[in-house]
Amino acid sequence: MSQTPFTIQRAAVIGAGTMGRGIVMCLANAGVPVQWVDNNPQMLEQALASVADTYAHSVRQGRIDQAEADARLARVTAAADYAAIREVDLVIEAVYENLELKQKIFRELDGLLKPEAILASNTSALDIDAIAAATRRPQQVLGLHFFSPAHIMKLLEIVRGAQTLPVVLEAALGLGKRMGKVSVVSGNCHGFIGNRMLRPYVLEARKMLLEGAYPYQVDAVLQGFGFAMGPFRMYDVVGIDLEWRARQLAGIGQDAPEVQVDNRLCELGRFGQKSGNGYYHYEPGSRQAEHDVEVDALVLKVSEELGFQRREISPEEILERCLLALVNEGAKILQEGIAESAHDIDLVYLNGYGFPADKGGPMAWADQQGLADIHQRLLALETKQGDQWNPARLIGELAAVGKGFADR
């Protein structure tokens, strides 16, 4: 591929599930003709109908006129196989989260597509370099991590592989702009910026359920701080079963104490909003999360069975542990060069994870507290709760010279 700027004129999407549908609309809305492939023809047919429905709904709502809806829909065509998409400039893959499957698809596409075409994966966490290694064009492979629902959520994480060319990143950034996204470039690590930080944050929330808190209390504290949703409401929206099934498939992580509440909920078919029950109850057709005493009873039972001596967890402790878990991981991401700036991390959390806008993002919030203060608070947690709170090296270094993440 030459080093000259490259504009994506035609694209293809592989996978017509939740994410594929939103991504196809992002492209079509930005004026990019898109061909759509799914190995399940019924799924593709349903997905085309659902895109048409979404546009019809937008017309009824007065957001776009009929001519615009027709033009957008006309840009979306079903493709029978990979051979039919050989002329596109970009393919975005959004099939199941499975490395071998993604590698197989990338290998096949690599053999068929024109040499300058870019191959992107919408994986939430998998290794982009391992996907790129299945091709002979790793310099033209990258992650394009959209958030659900992809046609609505503003954030786009653009994941740079070890060999991704700058010109390929620029093409992706250009496309992000045309789609009206807030694009943030991330290095390649498990979960990239957003989902990597989410792990320790959710881990603290889950641990506190076992130690004495209830889901509604944890969510109330974080929503009180200004988050659009607390972690348990978020799991209900995403589907508690996704991680449960992934743990089952991988055969790891299912015995960890902190996922036992999730496991029990899933065994009861309480997958979240989509099944009417999860951490909360939902009346048919409603997205209103209602406190469910059965869930409190289940949390109590699981923690007692695991031998926890429950104690009162204060709102201050809930906030401290969840926020400091985010900040400490964010600092590691920054010191490793996965994120280019603290501001980028904040953009990810503001636009993809419902962090309160008035606090400026987790890193800006930490700067407002003062990093010397954050450092002390992490050390205090480390003394009480162990090594997982060991402060990121960068926090100590910046605190020592009176600087913040933003000064770096």
Residues classed as catalytic: 145
Amino acid (one-letter) located at 346? D
Binding-site member from 124, 140, 188, 217 for ligand NAD (CB under 6 A)? 124
Binding-site member from 8, 11, 12, 16 for ligand NAD (CB under 6 A)? 16
112 binds ligand NAD (CB under 6 A): no
50 binds ligand NAD (CB under 6 A): no
* Angle formed at CA 218 by CA 233 and CA 334, multiple of 5 degrees: 85
What is the Cα–Cα distance from 278 to 236, expressed in whole angstroms? Answer: 6
80 binds ligand NAD (CB under 6 A): no
State the minimum distance, in angstroms, from the CB of residue 241 to ligand NAD. 12
148 binds ligand NAD (CB under 6 A): yes
Query: Would you list the DSSP string of 58-115?
Result: HHHTTSS-HHHHHHHHHTEEE-SSGGGGTT-SEEEE---S-HHHHHHHHHHHHHHS-T
Backbone angles phi, psi at 383, to 5 degrees: -60, -40
Binding-site member from 29, 35, 58, 122 for ligand NAD (CB under 6 A)? 122
Helix axes 18-29, 41-60, angle to 10 degrees: 50
158 binds ligand NAD (CB under 6 A): no
State the minimum distance, in angstroms, from the CB of residue 311 to ligand NAD. 34
State the minimum distance, in angstroms, from the CB of residue 38 to ligand NAD. 4
Contacts of the segment 220-223: beta carbons below 8 A, 24+ positions apart:
221/315, 221/318, 221/319, 221/322, 222/318, 222/319, 222/322
272 binds ligand NAD (CB under 6 A): no
Residue 329: how many other CB atoms lie within 10 Å: 21
Q: Which of 6, 386, 261, 98 is nearest to 270 (CA)?
A: 261
Binding range to ligand NAD, per CB under 6 A, among 5-13, 32-40, 218-226, 352-360: 32-40
- 216-245: contacts with ligand NAD (CB under 6 A): 238
Of 143 and 360, nearer to ligand NAD (C-beta) is: 143
Binding-site member from 96, 306, 314, 373 for ligand NAD (CB under 6 A)? 96
Of 43 and 372, nearer to ligand NAD (C-beta) is: 43
18 binds ligand NAD (CB under 6 A): yes
11 binds ligand NAD (CB under 6 A): no
Of 38 and 317, nearer to ligand NAD (C-beta) is: 38
What is the Cα–Cα distance from 332 to 339, expressed in whole angstroms? Answer: 9
38 binds ligand NAD (CB under 6 A): yes
What is the Cα–Cα distance from 396 to 47, expressed in whole angstroms? Answer: 50
What is the Cα–Cα distance from 13 to 379, expressed in whole angstroms? Answer: 47
State the minimum distance, in angstroms, from the CB of residue 235 to ligand NAD. 11
Binding stretches for ligand NAD (CB under 6 A): 14-20, 37-40, 43, 94-97, 101, 105, 122-124, 147-148, 238
